Amino acid sequence: MNSILLRLVLLGALCLGAFLATGALSLAQTDSGLETSGSDQVKAARKAIDGAGEELQELKKDDETARYDDERLVELQQRLEDIASAMQSIHDTLQPRLEAIKARETEIGEPPDEGEPAEPQSLIDERTQLAKDRASINSEIGLVQAIAQEARQLADSVAGYRRTLFRQSLLGRADLSAERLNAVQAALAEESREIVTRISSWLSFTWRHERGAFLSALLLSLLTGVLFIIGEYRLFSRYTQHDKSETDPSEFSKHTSAFWSTFLPTVGVAIFCTLTWFFLNNFNVLRGDISRMLAPFFQFVVILFFVGRLADAVLAPRHPHWRLVPVSDRGAHTLWWLIMAATLVNAADYLAGSIAEVLDSPVILTIARSMLAAIIIGVLLVVLSRIRPMQEREGRGRAWPSSISVPLTVLGVALIVLPLFGYVGLARFIATQVVVLGALIVTMYLGFLSAKAVSEPTEFSASALGKILSERYGFGQIAVEQIGLLCGILIYVFVIVVGVPIIFLVWGFQIRDIQGWVADSFSQVTIGSVTISLSGILIGLAAFAIGYFITRWFQRWLDDNVMRRSRMEDGLRNSVRTAVGYAGIIIAAVIGASVAGLNLSNLALVAGALSLGIGFGLQNIVNNFVSGLILLAERPFKVGDWVVTGSTQGFVRHISVRATEIETFDRQSVIVPNSEFINTPVGNWTHRNHLGRVQIAVGVSYDSDPRRVIEILEEIAPTNDIVLRNPAPFVVFTDFGASSLDFELRVYLSDVLSGLSVATDLRTKIFERFREEGIEIPFPQTDVHIKAPQPAGAAQEDTDNTGPKAETRAADKKPPAPRMDPDE
């Protein structure tokens, strides 16, 4: 809890180097195994376990000391776990040798019985040696397993002891008797005198004897700080400073500016403080006790700076247009001062506690300071819950909503009451979580909002970086949007990788705990005969991604530089490109699975499962898949062809291994399973070429001369440029229709895709020419027979109105049929 700054600085290297550290540990173990035999490693492990047990017993003897020495317990636990891992490695090394000995013994068989021919002496010697080796390896494996089991049990004991100490530090009650509280004033005065004495003696000695080194270290620290500040300003000033002239910034600008204006300067201050401590320490200027007091002071500075930047980024007291929360100007200033006051009290208490550890101050002094800090923070929280910071309504500020004011009040009252009943450790822990954890969660939330804003296509394109990519480097709109999405994903990952470990540190975990978790996540886990590790999975996914992108690049290169230059037709290019894509993805998947540690021999089980699935319901999928391969190989049609299948006709737009996309003349995309193209007849108008024939039917009246009609049609046909002269157009007298003489003009076209426009042009010319020649294009006519009413006498005279005479009379009386002109 007292080394937050050092943890912040080391966290990046811890997260980025976890995999390399694990690999280095494995390499070190391998090298050790080469230098020493397995027996020597077992002896060293036995000695280390004995030492760890003795150290644990020493820690248990003095609970008051061990209570504040969780780091020693973490190191002890990690050493025990390393011993167990080393023993497991030895076991894994010996096991194959044991299996090989057993296999050889099985191969040479049992000794011959009495009465059987004697075996060669060399075979007897080999069997004897194998038995000795097997016994030795079995003994060594048993010892290794016992040591590993003991190390794990001892590590579990250490973990349990740590949990007990943590519960005691939180739930244990402090002795706040009057006698002990009366000693606080004297202890505080003595601690103050000790601090002044140590610092003054160190400064006096350093100035007299190590003045040059001291000044050199300070000069290097100042130069480094100045260079870092100038570099940060030149590179990131646009992200860390508000544009005062902008009165209506976008949400993208607000969130990204708030996040980076908090994170980047804080990292800069942390690096500057770390380098200052590094230079002073490496110039042998710092004394041991001064170094242990200077480190928490730098932590104090970084924490105050971090919370101040965060509060300024969120509340923006001086820049209302950049404010992220709906509070008034007065409310923003009030909140800023209250937050900084709580942070100052919290950080000052930890600084004083760290110095007290160096000076071995009485425990009651630390308890009293923690009690006072918790009560002050509780009062500040109560005050914070009662203010009216929300935006004004009718000249008055509004109070917090109950979802905020009630938790703040409860926490504040708890921090005031708990220390009074002796629960100082619990109150101090809650106060730390409220201040530090609250700041971290707000920062992570700003990071998530920033990542979300960067991922928005329109927002990133309108940003400064998006404009630079599009204007200076010529990236297209889609490329810029994809880069924005990638940047958003990277910010999400960065916030999680950095923020989550820091939260664990605030909760009381040690760096070695997190390092152990990271190492365990990258270590191998064996499930049956399958060995899985997170590192292997990540590397396998990376290998597959690299193979996938290489495949896509090779597809584009092959299509643009080879097939297009060779004037290869589009259909064949699509088939080759598709086949190369599937082959590359399959190869990338196999390589990725191998790198991830999957045994490819187990694919036989997968194949068996697929066969069973095919038998139960995947026939259609496999049928379409195989049909797609046949279509790509035989190429009965290609992309761009005009095909007809069933009730669907249109142009082929895409051929995949499962289905083919056809775009109809109405611009509708129809996905047709490939099996239909294999099992049913398919018409292809453009299979080998674009030649085609168009038939134009036309009818003329019975008064027209058929030979003249044929001559006119033969004259009109060649007038269109797309109509071929060879084969020549011809006319067919097809039938005697009910109302017309039926003819059909048949012409051959160089491009059948133009058939509709050619037919329209020829029909227009035929209509115009027939009108000039006076040739009538008739329409269907129907005779309607109407019977007039009969007088009574006539009915008696002729009672049979259904005979031929009645029909003749009706025909004689019917009116003439109306005649319609096509022009009307």
User: In the 3-class helix/strand/coil scheme, how is 416-446 assigned residue by residue?
Assistant: HHHHHCCCHHHHHHHHHHHHHHHHHHHHHHH
pTM passes above 0.75: no
Give yes or no for a cis peptide into 727 (omega within 30° of 0): yes
Most confident range (mean pLDDT) of 28-37, 424-433, 479-488, 770-779 is 770-779
Q: For residues 491 and 470, what is the distance between their CA atoms, to the nearest angstrom?
A: 21
Q: Of the candidates 264, 333, 270, 255, which has an alpha carbon nearest to the alpha carbon of residue 302?
A: 270
Helix (H, G, I), strand (E, B) or coil at 648: strand
Q: What is the pLDDT of residues 611-632, one digit of tens each?
A: 666 555 566 777 777 777 777 7
- Comparison of pLDDT for 141 and 378, the residue scoring more: 378
Single-letter code of the amino acid located at 600: L
Q: What is the pLDDT of residues 520-576, one digit of tens each?
A: 655 555 555 555 666 667 777 888 888 888 888 888 888 777 777 666 766 667 767
Residue with tokens 């929280």: 381
For residue 31, the model assigns a pLDDT of 36
Single-letter code of the amino acid located at 471: E
Q: For residues 325 and 391, what is the distance between their CA atoms, to the nearest angstrom?
A: 10
Could you tell me if 644 and 654 are in contact, meaning their C-beta atoms sit under 8 angstroms apart?
A: no
For residue 604, the model assigns a pLDDT of 59
For residue 94, the model assigns a pLDDT of 76
Q: 440 falls in which pLDDT band (50, 70, 90)?
A: confident
Taking 70 as the threshold, does the pLDDT of residue 51 lie above it? no
Q: What is the pLDDT of residues 322-363, one digit of tens each?
A: 888 888 888 888 888 988 998 899 888 888 888 888 887 777
Taking 50 as the threshold, does the pLDDT of residue 20 lie above it? no
Least confident of 64-68, 290-294, 641-645: 64-68
Taking 60 as the threshold, does the pLDDT of residue 48 lie above it? no
Could you tell me if 639 and 652 are in contact, meaning their C-beta atoms sit under 8 angstroms apart?
A: yes
Q: For residues 409 and 425, what is the distance between their CA atoms, to the nearest angstrom?
A: 20
Q: What is the pLDDT of residues 237-274, one digit of tens each?
A: 665 666 656 667 777 777 777 877 888 788 888 888 88
Sign of the dihedral through C-alpha 708, 711, 715, 717: positive
- Comparison of pLDDT for 717 and 96, the residue scoring more: 717
User: What percent of the chain has a predicted confidence (pLDDT) above 90?
Assistant: 4
Most confident range (mean pLDDT) of 139-143, 308-312, 389-393, 672-676 is 308-312
Q: Which residues of 441-472 are buried (b: 16+ CB within 10 A; e: fewer)?
A: ebbbbbbbbbbbbbbbeebbbebebbeebbee
Section 472-482 average pLDDT? 77
Most confident range (mean pLDDT) of 76-80, 203-207, 536-540 is 203-207
Q: What is the DSSP string of 662-726?
A: EE-TTS-EEEEEHHHHHHS--EETTSS-S-EEEEEEEEE-TTS-HHHHHHHHHHHGGGSTTB-SS
